[in-house]
Amino acid sequence: MTADDEQYARRLRERYTAPVLAIDPAVIVRRGRRRRAARGAAGVGLVGVAVVVGLLLGGMPRPFGPGPADVPPPEPADARAALVVSPATVHSGDPVTVTILNRGQSDLVGGVGVEAQRWNGRAWAAAGWAGLCFGDAVAACQSRIDPSTADEAVPAIGIPAPSRGSSAALGLSTAGLTPGWYRLTMTVSDVSSTPGRPRSAAGQFEVVAPPVPSATPTSAVATPPPTVTPPDAASAIDEAVFGQAGQAVVTTRGATLLTTDAGGHWRALTVPGRRVGGHWLDVHGATIAAATLDATGSLTYERSGDGGQTWVSQRLPLAMPDGGQVDVALDADGLMVAIAAQTPHSSGVEGTGVLFVGPAGHDVAARPAPAAGTAAWVGTHLLLVGGVVSSQLFVSDDLGATWTQSAVEGVTVATGGTIPADAPSIGLPVPMAADRAVIPVTLASGAAQTIDLLTTTDGRTFTSLGKVPTGGTFGQGVTARGTSAGPGTAILVGPSTTLVTVTGTDVATMTPAGLPGPVGALTFLDPTHGLASVTVTACPTGKASCTETTGLYASSDGGRTWTATRPSAG
């Protein structure tokens, strides 16, 4: 078994939440079959959008008899195709999402009909069939498992999972199911072979009994949901710069504070020089790299190798006017630094890019910048993301001496001229390992808009983990921001008030509780402990009286719930 296979099997064992991804109706193919006659037939033809497929069988579903609950079933066998059911544990009647996951190189087409079995403590026993919902009907799906054995025709729609790591999400209701384990099995067709080779995809979930209320009053008090606490003047911060691995620097009431454990502890930090706009500081352990202005207004590289106790300064040959931005980026080991500076044009449309690169503990050297943008590292590869609406990605393997432009989503945007309507908006790489990162890319196709999560080890070749719909909340040039959250894990700010987690090759979305608004920036020490900033706008007497207040919020459960926190040294 390969490392990828072991990771996939482990993911199924731990039952991570599966992504709910949009389905492109242009690649849906119709298939006709009867339940008994041709379950594995490959699909042909096209169907429209907004089709709700139910199991058209007579009679009401019957509840299934209980089976032993103390003997769990074996995990699904490893396979090229699988069904991932989310959530993996539900109460009867709750909807679940069934995701067809393609783990191979072939083009696979699945259906909407699934065979259901129930674990009786010793083996899987037949439980019936179900037709799944897809498209806009997934969230409100009423299709459910029916034990009828009548030879009724099952309407079938071919759902493609065309490439490795891609998936298609379907829906199912668990109404009528008694507590126990259930397995769903679907026959998918390998349409890249002639004739199409059938494969079996399976996944399972557990129905649990709802909690039984106590017959007598007890002193136990249910844990209330976290209180949403808007930031006030006492807890507000003036500025926050978030880094990776739980690191953040905030300025509040004139004091600069540093945390390296996602707000668990804070200490005072004094950095020489005046602040510059942008991500002016980065931290890796005891190494701190900062870009500030000296008394003459020249950009200065300030570096410390002892956590800010002592500093060494290097004056850079660049005068930074008001409105200039910098971005300081240390590599995954904290050994190399890149400082990307943008000086504004008089038009304010796009600045001029200037770049400085070198060892973090020594002087840096000026390098040619292929565009105005932001620097980042993926292993030893230096990346620069920028251009108009963040549509260009450049890569250097020699510390910025020479650059090549990468084609992202098959689009290479010229450095001058008109930006095409389908130009991707490229986000900053979010580290998942020392030599691997996930890059969020906003794509627009007409009214539809998605965030494609691309993994890369070199900034030139990419693998998509899946696409997350934005709901129209991201405009062109707007991309997701994120942070590493331990080895193999990244958490990004998603559309509206959602967060997107990437664990290995799995993608899931969640709506956090306890926040007064969308997350502005965040950092996670590990998959559990995080720190986020949220800005709230209040207009008590109209637009002329609007004020913005930024506060900090901490999470200890992977970002599901948050509580207000106030930074203080000590």
The pLDDT-based confidence of 356 (bands split at 50, 70, 90) is very high
Q: Collapse the DSSP code of 345 into the 3-class scheme (helix H, G, I; strand E, B; otherwise coil) and give the result.
A: coil
Most confident of 111-115, 265-269, 565-569: 265-269
pLDDT value of residue 65: 41
The pLDDT-based confidence of 105 (bands split at 50, 70, 90) is low
**Average pLDDT in the 99-111 region?**
73
Tens-digit pLDDT profile for residues 133-148 = 865 556 567 788 887 6
pLDDT value of residue 501: 92
Cα–Cα dist 89/38, whole Å: 32
Percent of the chain with pLDDT over 70: 71
**Average pLDDT in the 39-44 region?**
32
What are the structure tokens assigned to 490, written together?
């990244």
Q: Which is higher by pLDDT, 233 or 479?
A: 479
Is pLDDT of 364 > 90? yes
Most confident of 34-43, 167-176, 260-269, 477-486: 260-269
Tens-digit pLDDT profile for residues 158-206 = 666 555 544 556 788 888 888 889 999 988 887 766 666 788 888 888 8
Q: Where are the alpha helices (DSSP H) in 455-524?
A: none
pLDDT value of residue 25: 37
pLDDT value of residue 56: 34
Q: Collapse the DSSP code of 449 into the 3-class scheme (helix H, G, I; strand E, B; otherwise coil) and give the result.
A: strand
pLDDT value of residue 547: 80
**Average pLDDT in the 533-556 region?**
83
118, 4, 7, 110: which is closest to 53 by C-alpha?
110
* Number of other residues whose CB lies within 10 A of the CB of residue 270: 9
pLDDT value of residue 227: 73
Q: Do you know the residue count of the chain?
A: 570
Report whether 113 contacts 212 (CB < 8 A). no
Cα–Cα dist 27/168, whole Å: 11
Cα–Cα dist 409/478, whole Å: 16
pLDDT value of residue 172: 86
How many helices (H) and strands (E) the chain has is answered by 1, 42
Is pLDDT of 288 > 70? yes
Cα–Cα dist 492/485, whole Å: 10
Strand partners, 382: 377, 396
Tens-digit pLDDT profile for residues 207-229 = 887 765 544 444 445 556 677 87
pLDDT value of residue 417: 57
Average pLDDT of every residue of the chain: 76
317-351 in b/e form (b: 16+ CB < 10 A) is ebebeeebbbbbbbbbebebbbbbbbbbeeeeebb
Q: Which is higher by pLDDT, 157 or 531?
A: 531
Is pLDDT of 80 > 70? yes
75, 167, 172, 66: which is closest to 129 by C-alpha?
172
Tens-digit pLDDT profile for residues 386-425 = 887 788 899 999 999 999 999 887 777 776 656 676 788 8
pLDDT value of residue 310: 94
pLDDT value of residue 363: 94
Report whether 35 contacts 153 (CB < 8 A). yes
What's the pTM? Answer: 0.59
pLDDT value of residue 83: 82
Q: How far is C-alpha 437 from the chain's CA centre?
A: 12
